[in-house]
Amino acid sequence: MRGLWPIFKREVFAHFVTPLAWVAMTAFLLIQGLHFFLIVQHFAGQLDLSADAGPVQTYFGQTMMLYLPLLFVCPVLTMRLFAEERRSGTIEPLLTAPIETAGVVLGKYLAVVLIYAAMWLPTLLYMLLLSRYGEVDWHVVASGYLAVLAIGAGYLAIGTMTSALAKSQLAAALTSAMAIIGLFMIGVGEFIFPEGIGRDIAGHVSAWAQMNDFSRGIIDSRRLVFDATVVVLPLFITVRAVDAWRLE
């Protein structure tokens, strides 16, 4: 796919030289560090831990502090992808270059996915620290990170789409944040709606339910299919939107 690799390298470099990206990464790691500290402090005085309520399971699926960064970091990472190109006027040379639209979109998207994964990488130290003082189920750790990456990939795809549709970074960030929070709140409906189709749908799209399952090592392929849908559909819309710019 022509253009994917050059665009990917360009976007990765651009993120690492952008002060806002470093601020977002620092804030994210501070929140996750506090999150881990509070969990360890909570379990420090407990001798008997159930299989579903250890520190690893709690870290990945049972506190709101895991989700708050996802709801706001993903819009920050994606807001400049296309909105800034349109504002600065650099989108015209990009669109007239002999590269495929899908290559441009995927190159930008995969770059923010890499940045997102890099933000989570230091949290592996928390798991290594736990393994020094107790037994850690690395299968559970792997499934927990899989869920974090799968959910985050969907949120980043939504952010990529809103950046292509918006005319400013602020509008892109606000729109993607509202869309992500809206999707998350639909999932919360599984705890609110009475039994029926509404509750079933909410439970299927619930990020909270997915993290709870994966944090216990339960990998549900239906949830991964939903995550893939949340990635593919916004990226398809993004490609169509960028194609429309080329026709203007």
- For residues 170 and 162, give the distance between their C-alpha atoms in angstroms, rounded to a whole number: 11
pLDDT on residue 162: 95
* Domain boundaries defined on the chain: 4-15+53-247
What's the CA gap between 207 and 83, in Å, rounded?
Answer: 27
SS3 239: helix
Q: Residue 57: what residue type?
A: Q
State residue 98's pLDDT score.
74
- The helix or strand, by DSSP H or E, that contains position 53, with its residue range, turns out to be none
pLDDT digits (tens, 9 = 90+) for 58-111: 888 777 888 877 888 899 999 988 887 777 777 777 777 777 888 899 999 999
pLDDT category at 159 given cuts 50, 70, 90 is: very high
pTM: predicted TM-score of the whole model, two decimal places: 0.92
Q: Is 160:234 a contact under the CB 8 Å cutoff?
A: yes
Residue 45 burial class via C-beta count within 10 angstroms: exposed 0-12, middle 13-18, buried 19 and up: exposed
